[in-house]
Homo-oligomer: A and B are copies of this chain.
Amino acid sequence: MPGNSFGTLFRITTWGESHGRAVGVVLDGCPAGLELKEDDIQKELDRRRPGQSRASTQREEKDRVEILSGIFEGKTTGTPISMLIWNRDADSSSYDLLRNRPRPGHADYAYQMKFGWRDHRGGGRSSARETVGRVAAGAVARKLLQERGIEVAAYVTELGGIRARIEPGDLARLRAAAEANPIRCPDQEAAVKMIEQLDAVRQEGDSLGGMVTIIARGVPPGLGDPVFDKLDADLAKGLMSLGAVKAVEIGAGLSCAGLRGSEMNDPFRMEGDKIVCDSNNAGGILGGISTGMDIICRIAVKPTPSIGKKQHTVDLETGRETEIEIKGRHDPAIPPRIVPVAEAMVAIVLADHLLRQKTARL
């Protein structure tokens, strides 16, 4: 299969370039009978939309979703849901100089080597604008999860080396706290420092990396299809498929390397008639299958590669070394904007495995 589809039963196919006519997604496999209106989608797209805060690019896009199929009288029909968002405010002029000069840290050179040529305008298909389709489909997945009492929330836990302190607790409250500042960090004090540092690097023409945590609560035990389509394997793929992500952790993640078995293992105990664990180093997944505990993922997000500083590169036409200065409008840090996208990916993976689980037993 070509690479622009994701999911097995709840399956999305995204399309579109940054400066093409539109971007969109076709979602196939959503069960019939789910209540769905454009507002459910728009709400999430508005969270992803640029032009909202200091932390994001100044590009202005209304990003109004149009649902073109699959919904009738306010409910899904079981047929493909096609969603489209027009590109209205694309300004390609600042990209002309980059046609032959691949930007360091960007996909330009790699696309050129893969396809022999490329739509260079605004990064073309490799632009983060592609994630519009993921967020739109993720909004449908979220509706499906809500029917089953599953919540998904994401927030920034680290930016430019500043780490937030976050008390685990009610997910809705955590999400609200994150949405209360432009960094999307629930620790308001840390957020203030992050904003200060962000302003500083922006003025230097530089950018910051950070960490984002995604939590899913209420996931029933049993989701995930060993031995390859394990729940953590699919989450890792979904999250690593986001352009700026360089690491994915589940549960204890990297820190498990320094633990002993007696520290890492989460002992089982009863809570009423439910089996639970006190600790959650597993991140809610054992053997690739959900256990009913919180699913916990963390992603490392690299600093925005588009920086104002002069950078060294080569000219693809002449084969000579040269320099570039990237103009255009860019986020000085990706973590705040990746939050709704990461939520969408986790929601899509969970929705897919919810459906898959329906055939696990006779």
Contacts and interface: CB of A to CB of B under 8 A. Distances in A.
Interface stretch (A46-54, A106-114, A166-174, A185-193): A106-114
B69 A21 contact: yes
A255 to B, nearest CB: 8
Nearest to A76: B362
A161 B255 CA distance: 10
Given A68-B22, A355-B359, A246 B250 contact: yes
Given A79-B15, A209-B258, A287-B106, A230 B236 contact: no
Nearest to A255: B300
Interface centre among A201, A221, A259, A355, by most chain B C-beta atoms within 10 angstroms, is A259
A196 interface: no
Interface residues of A, number: 155
Given A236-B240, A249-B247, A289 B107 contact: yes
A312 interface: yes
Contacts of A234: 237
A286 to B, nearest CB: 4
A112 to B, nearest CB: 9
B247 A22 contact: no
A358 B359 contact: yes
A11 to B, nearest CB: 6
Given A80-B15, A260-B303, A359-B31, A286 B252 contact: no
A20 interface: yes
Interface in A177-203: 201
Interface string A139-174: 000001001000000000010110000000000000
B224 A232 contact: no
B105 A289 contact: no
B2 A289 contact: no
Interface in A231-257: 232-241, 243, 246-257
Interface centre among A144, A264, A355, by most chain B C-beta atoms within 10 angstroms, is A264
Interface string A28-50: 11011110000000000000000
29 contacts: A4-B79, A4-B80, A5-B13, A14-B227, A15-B68, A22-B68, A32-B114, A77-B117, A110-B224, A113-B291, A114-B223, A115-B360, A158-B258, A160-B260, A161-B258, A206-B261, A236-B237, A236-B239, A243-B287, A246-B250, A246-B252, A246-B256, A249-B300, A254-B254, A257-B301, A262-B307, A263-B303, A264-B305, A269-B312
For the complex of A and B, list the 3 residue pairs with the smallest distance between their C-beta atoms, beginning with the closest. A107-B287, A3-B225, A3-B229
